[in-house]
Amino acid sequence: MPGRPSLAGRSLLLVLRPISGMGGGGSALKVCADHRGGINWLSLSPDGQRLLTGSEDGTARLWSTADGQCCALLQGHESYVTFCQLEDEAAFTCSADCTIRKWDVLTGQCLQVFRGHTSIVNRILVTNNQLFSSSYDRTARAWNVDKGQVSQEFRGHRNCVLTLAYSAPWDLPGAPCMEEALAGGLLVTGSTDGTAKVWQVASGCCHQTLRGHTGAVLCLVLDTPSHTAFTGSTDATIRAWDILSGEQLRVFREHQGSVICLERFGGAAETPPCSQRHQCAVPTLHPPPPAGEPARVLRQRGQDGQVLASRHRGERAHLRGPRTQRERPQVPRGYL
């Protein structure tokens, strides 16, 4: 089976005990070590009862978070699994074999194979009976989940498409002049060509190209209420964009290395929980938001080991988080 050198370990460590306090430690309650290769991605079920892992060994596995036992072995990919997503009734995986697979979470049976990409599939996103994917073949695609067929193809990036996010039509402003263009929602993609693009899902047309980064765009996250995209790059910056107008709103420049993960937390007066992807603490930000306005916190992880937390509209706090050993994003050699 084709493979590649892995940066990840050969076992999955489940840290289930909460981490308390800044820089606090956690206790490993269970170790699941059935994979024969590094683990590239984790996905937790909506009810928190199951965990899906995708591995360099070409398989995915379902685990019970209650006892750490492997519930199902998902076999069928012909190369390493790059990404996975676990839903209530189905699991989805993508691979370097250029395919995406849908699995029955009870039996482990492959229900559907999505074929069409011509190179490594980097990421998938399943929402509203649609599946979106990004690939090294420089395209992103939309698929009908039930039929397994491509419903739209998005071409325009000049290099690998790495990351993606989706904004549903009901999350977008209902301006009469834009109703038809936004009828299918907007897909945002980030690429190693240094740009992010906003696509009209219904037509497949490029709505906006977000230019400003001088390195590969490795990660992005959407704040749908304000139709704002945040992008992180190998140029060590995070940039905020209006996805409707394409305007660059601000630049965060605190990191000294590539920004490899972004996550946004919402909710008034809420202290964000520890992320599933990295262990860190985010302080309460001051000044607090005006009465009635929800706090929006952006958490960013950089290769320099720092975490930067910021309120969406200006104020920010900068702190250094613990360095952790974790898998690098699936990007071509030389970009990190």
Supply the pTM of this predicted model: 0.77
CA atoms within 13 A on the CB side of 156: 19
Residue showing tokens 């992010």: 196
pLDDT digits (tens, 9 = 90+) for 219-273: 999 998 889 999 999 999 999 999 999 999 999 998 999 999 998 776 322 223 3
Cβ–Cβ < 8 Å for 262, 275:
no
Residue 98's pLDDT band (boundaries 50, 70, 90)?
Answer: very high
Instruction: Give the Cα separation of 41 and 60 in Å (integer).
Output: 10
In 3D space, the residue among 232, 231, 253 whose CA is nearest the CA of residue 243 turns out to be 231
Return the percentage of the chain with pLDDT > 70, whole number.
Answer: 69
The string of DSSP letters for 217-273 reads EEEEEEEGGGTEEEEEETTS-EEEEETTT--EEEEE---SS-EEEEEEEESTTPPPP
CB 259 within 8 A of CB 218: yes
pLDDT in tens, 30-39: 778 889 999 9
In angstroms, the CA 105 to CA 321 distance is: 36
pLDDT digits 0-9 by tens, 217-233: 999 999 988 899 999 99
Q: What is the mean pLDDT of the chain?
A: 79
Decide if 15 contacts 26 (C-beta within 8 A).
Answer: yes
Dihedral angle over CA of 72, 76, 77, 79, nearest 10 = 100
Q: How confident is the model at residue 178 (pLDDT cuts 50, 70, 90)?
A: confident
